[in-house]
A and B are shown apart, each in its own frame.
Chain A
Amino acid sequence: MTKKPAVENGPLSKPARRISFGIIVLAVTALTCLLGPLLWHFEATQIGAGLPFLGPGIEHPFGTDDLGRDQLARLMVGGRITVIVATGSALISILIGVIWGVLAAARRGWMDEVLMRTADAFMAIPQIVFALVFVAAFGSSILTLTFIIGVLLAPTTARIVRSVAMSELSADYAVAARACGLGRMRVMATEILPNLLPTVRVQATINVAAAIILEATLSFIGLGIQPPDASWGTLLLQGYGKFYNSAWLVLVPTIWIVVTIWALTATSESLHGRSRRETAT
């Protein structure tokens, strides 16, 4: 009678580094949107490139809209704007959020209170409402929009950064650094900040996803990117009216948004897994 351990003959552990499928999708999407329009033979603004309301086919892989414009071309050009706004606002949100969170964690006392209650206030009001107010006040050019979305995403980032910074500050290495003579600011800069990187990486990816959704929503209700610029949100808006003529006009941008969000989430998961492995003893 062979005696084998009942359940343990599983696979040997996988190698530590796995390129996340999500990153591949993101890279492909970004490259397509940035370089694609230069290579594709149809222009996004080319009216009558094909018959109107065509479904996906060989000539036009994503079909055409009511004016016969090639959807793939429009998707790529629109994607440019979406990518720029999303990454730009994510960067702004990280910049503001990190400074906000680190100040609150370092200073404690009344500054911490003020900063955090402001964050709470921001988060209590629905983002769309805030966005509407800002757009009404400052307009909706690409730059302004990037800034507005960045500011909207900052409070959540600040919260997370603050809590990680606070727990790092009470960790042995930070205590030892203080006791060995390092000043508060130096401890924050040289000891704490590097240890915030894993968290910030993950949060940045999440923020890009959030920014895409925010931008798409704003554009969908007509308050985001304005014509003649187009983003995936505006494509959705325009396709929405012609839904009965061709469902593809709505489906294609939607699927792309979903796929990109999924890829971003998958990337953030794998980054999170990597940061957990880094810190595991």
Chain B
Amino acid sequence: MQTITLLFPLAWRNLWRNPRRTIITLVVVAAGLYSILVFAAIMTAWAKSSRDTTLDLITGSGQIHAVGYLADPSIDHTMAPPDTVLTRALNHPEISAWAERVMVPAVVQSEYRTLPLTLAGIDPAKEKRLSILPKDMAEGSYLSSSDGYDIVLGRHFAERLKTRVGKRVIILATATDGSLSEQSYTVVGLFGGNQQVEDAYAFVGKQSAQKMLGLGDAISEIAFKLVDDSTRATVIADLRSAAPRLDIEPWTKLSPLAAAMDQFMTGFVYVWLWVMFVFMAIGIVNTQLMAVFERSREFGLLQALGMRPRHILMQVVIESGLMVGVGVLIGFVASILTVLAFAGGIDLGFLAQGAEYFGAGRVLYPDLSPLQFIELSLTVWALGIVVGLWPAQRATRARAADAIRQSN
């Protein structure tokens, strides 16, 4: 304890023997940590936005299908509507919304063109709670009933089809008996948001789709949305036990690209951490080595006076710890202030198309949990102390006799 009370003030004062050098190192550490934390907050926000944007369009947090549907999403792999047990499981408090859908491959024909897509027969009321598409209408209105003959197309798809709101289109799809069924629908709205989805789906009332395809009350899928994605595994397990004969999959399997992007973003934060840390480490080691070389006579003197080599090591390590610690503190506070300043969101309107390309929303909300902030900061601090061991070890090599000889 005596030694610590000696070494701490000694280390702190030694740091300020060359204030310029110490301040430069502090700035390097603070700026490095700042960039790590702010970058992590933005990347986390980007990953979350990208994931939510993808999942909130169609996929949801997970889906339930008949076995075989995912491999062959056709009329041949339908299932009965949820029974009492599955309905009870779907009304789980962790599931915020769920909806049944009929999803079949179809062809849409206008006066000018015929294009393929997936026809989605949905319950408008339920779908509004599950998907953002009903709220993202570019033109016209969303479906109002499950049994009408209205259709909502993607804005870009409508352009390609050369149709518009108020016009009629013909849907052609294979019915359950293998025949080609067709039905005329009136375009009541065009949804926007994501070009890929705009070109891939058309929405009609579920009952009208069932009627056209001769499905009775059969459906193709149930999509559900979770309150908190961290409960995904538990909820999926509950659903699987409620419906053991159905294929119940989480979004990570249904949308592997979104899952890969999510993982990539998280991994990229750590890559950035290491890149920045290498720069910081060079600064820390350089500063401490210079300080150690300059003070080798003093370290020799301390040994001559009776300071043990391990205490000299501790002194230099404490110096590194204090220097990196102050830098970390400055970087930590600055990054928290920055994240708080942008808590209302960063508007990416100026690069909207680019953001959309990466699947992110127009506004990013920097997000990093307090635990992650502390964890990353402590990691940088600990690594800073570890790299400080090298100069510290050099300091213990100073020989008292050489040091005294130099001074005379």
- A, B: real partners: no
